[in-house]
Structure 1
Amino acid sequence: MFSNKLMRRQAGFAYLLLIPGCVLLLTFTFYPIVRGLPLAFTDYSVIDSTHWVGWDNFKRAFSDSTFGLALKHSLLYVLVVPVLQILSILMAVLVNNKLKFVHFFRVAYFVPVVTSMVAAAIAWKWVYEEQGILNFFLLKLHIVREPIVFMIETKLALLGVMIVTVWKGLGYYMMIYLAGLQSIPAELVESARIDGAGWWRTVRHITIPLLMPFVLLCSLISVMGAIHVFDEVFVMHGELGDPAYSTITTSVYSYKVAFKDFEFGYSATIGLLVSIIIMAISIVMFRYTRRGGLTYYE
């Protein structure tokens, strides 16, 4: 009797702690989503009357070459995800060992996560400049004969922004994977090693399968972040994705359409189409990565 009463009190306290978060989600996430959906079917105007235009905004999106280019760049950005996740897992495996100064390395890897993206993008923009530190080392090591203008070279501009995203996110996902690694029973790894499994076979057949729920979570977050990438592109290359739209993404283009062209309805349409694409990718990822985890093998 006392145990049930204590459990109800603990559950009530837990729900009480959830209320502030739920209020914030309802106010700043779910309400804007519900409120923004009808805008995709209008020519919403702040200062003039709003009219229902039906599917006209969607027809415009499918024939808009700039939106097509922005969508292409956003989908190309998804290529960051496997690189980011593989490197994060390897880093987590490394710092999960009892190494000297391991706590220092954990903190050092996490520093970029707590660094402002605006500050990080400005710093990386300086690194990529013609007289920046990257060209300095490339010239000193005789890898190139003349400075490379990374910020202007259309074939390198988007890749440069991707590198910033990878650098910024490594520590974040590493910490999630580190938590997952520490939840794996040590006796499983020890049994594998006693049976003669080397480091790679242990990681492949024990660590990775048991980490799959964490891989799914991190991959979903990473995919959504990649398709919605905005800060680093906007700070480094502006609202037009200079040079020559070579770095423009859907989020940057949506911002331009809404706050520069004041076409809020069309901007909402772009956001809705991108959300549908993310939903489709998420469903596929759930379908093919649902196996794994400690409970799956019990």
Structure 2
Amino acid sequence: MAAVGVAAPGRRRAAPSGAARYRRWWVPYLFLLPGLLAVLVFSLWPFVNTVILSLTNARVLQGGSFVGLNNYGRALHDPAFWLAFRNSMLYAVVCVPVLVVLPLLLALLVKDRIPGIGFFRSAYYTPVIASSVVVGLMWQWLLASDGIVNTVLRRLQLVGSPVPFLTDSTLLLLSCMVVTVWKGLGYYMVFYLAALGNVPAQLYEAAAIDGAGAVRRFRHITVPSVRPMMLLVGTLSTISALRVFTEVYILGGRGGGPGGEAKTLPFLIRDLGVGYRGLTGYASAIGIILFLVTLVFALAGRRLGREEA
């Protein structure tokens, strides 16, 4: 007697019916559930809560009453907000072009597979994986009045007195930009290495045969080939520049530099929200303004990318 439930040899198992498949429609969502819960708990709910808080006069550990758009109007008339907004925009204007161009040049230097090139790729990428706090402390030590940079400048007799990298508001902001660029070069270099790997080598060979020099090959082959990646790098570096906090906090101290002149929007949000004033509602409103500004740049980059495609 044949065993029950064993299919006959050579006979395929019948595919499940449409009704059976319909009864199991929830199975894929079961696998997505942990990720969806993480997004809901750690991203969506904090954002919704920030929007709600921005419409209240809440303070730290205290509830608040509904004030509508008063916090947004307050921000638009607050000199501290406009100073931080100017610094954040200046940060993006200076850092983004540098982070679009320099990593591309760096990628061109290390793209060829030659002996020992892996060491240089790793060396350029090391700042990316280093802790932002450690990097900030290292540069604080380098740029101090008695640090290595000032010592070298005085030894070379290029300056008579120490350069106030960390005590002058303008130089402090520029120093923070240098740290941001230095830390981000290797990250965006990897993006360009991936893009350059997709450029056919025959294009460069044909251009060289036609007598095109390195500059012309770069202008007419490299740049057009990696332009979509340049737009992506520009968008990502803009978002990163608008969110900068650690560099200013470490190099400029808790006050954001002399007189607080080097504060950026994230620094101001932290200062208002968790500082001695604890203006949670007002800080949330500035956070939403920063989100909207970032969203505008992100959407602009996406539109340019679609036009490029």
Q: Do both proteins adopt the same fold according to a TM-score greater than 0.5, normalized to the shorter chain? A: yes
For 2:242, the aligned partner's letter is I
How far apart, CA to CA, are the structure 2 residues paired with 1:192 and 1:22? 50
Structure 1 pair 207–227 and aligned structure 2 pair: CA distance change class (3 A): same
Is 1:39 the counterpart of 2:48 in the alignment? Answer: no
- From 215, 234, 241, the counterpart of 1:219: 234
1:16 shift after superposition: 8.8
1:291 shift after superposition: 4.5
- From 33, 50, 67, the counterpart of 2:81: 67
Structure 1 pair 114–47 and aligned structure 2 pair: CA distance change class (3 A): closer
In terms of mean alpha carbon deviation, does 135-144 or 97-106 score higher?
97-106
Contact 1:230 1:249 in 2 (8 A): yes
Contact 1:42 1:265 in 2 (8 A): yes
Contact 1:157 1:246 in 2 (8 A): no
In the TM superposition, 1:191-230 aligns within 5 A as 191-230=206-245
Q: Deviations over 1:105-140 (max 9, x none)?
A: 100000101110100100100111111000111112
Aligned counterpart, 1:8 = none
Q: Deviations over 1:54-90 (max 9, x none)?
A: 0110111011111110110000000201012211000
Q: Deviations over 1:214-237 (max 9, x none)?
A: 212211111111011011111221
How far apart, CA to CA, are the structure 1 residues paired with 2:195 and 2:251? 34
For 1:35, the aligned partner's letter is N
For 1:77, the aligned partner's letter is Y
In the TM superposition, 1:1-298 aligns within 5 A as 21-78=35-92, 79-260=94-275, 261-292=277-308, 296=309
Contact 2:59 2:278 in 1 (8 A): yes
Q: Deviations over 1:146-178 (max 9, x none)?
A: 211211122211001110001100000001111
Structure 1 pair 146–127 and aligned structure 2 pair: CA distance change class (3 A): same
Aligned sequence identity (%): 38
In terms of mean alpha carbon deviation, does 207-216 or 152-161 score higher?
207-216
Structure 1 pair 51–125 and aligned structure 2 pair: CA distance change class (3 A): same
In terms of mean alpha carbon deviation, does 28-37 or 79-88 score higher?
28-37
Contact 1:112 1:167 in 2 (8 A): yes
How far apart, CA to CA, are the structure 2 residues paired with 1:201 and 1:241? 45
For 2:50, the aligned partner's letter is G
In terms of mean alpha carbon deviation, does 209-218 or 165-174 score higher?
209-218
Residue 158 of structure 1: SS of its match in structure 2?
A: helix
For 2:291, the aligned partner's letter is S
1:190 shift after superposition: 2.4
Q: Gaps spanning 5+ residues in structure 2: where?
A: 1-27
In terms of mean alpha carbon deviation, does 253-262 or 282-291 score higher?
282-291
How far apart, CA to CA, are the structure 2 residues paired with 1:196 and 1:23? 59
Q: Deviations over 1:31-69 (max 9, x none)?
A: 211222121111124543321100110111011111110
1:15 shift after superposition: 9.1
How far apart, CA to CA, are the structure 2 residues paired with 1:25 and 1:274? 21
For 1:220, the aligned partner's letter is T
Q: Deviations over 1:236-257 (max 9, x none)?
A: 2123211112210000110011
Structure 1 pair 25–47 and aligned structure 2 pair: CA distance change class (3 A): closer
Aligned counterpart, 1:9 = none
Structure 1 pair 214–20 and aligned structure 2 pair: CA distance change class (3 A): farther
If the length of structure 2 is used for normalisation, what is the TM-score?
0.84
How far apart, CA to CA, are the structure 1 residues paired with 2:33 and 2:120? 36
For 1:272, the aligned partner's letter is I
**Cα RMSD (Å):** 2.2
1:20 shift after superposition: 5.3
If the length of structure 1 is used for normalisation, what is the TM-score?
0.87
1:30 shift after superposition: 2.4
Contact 1:239 1:253 in 2 (8 A): no
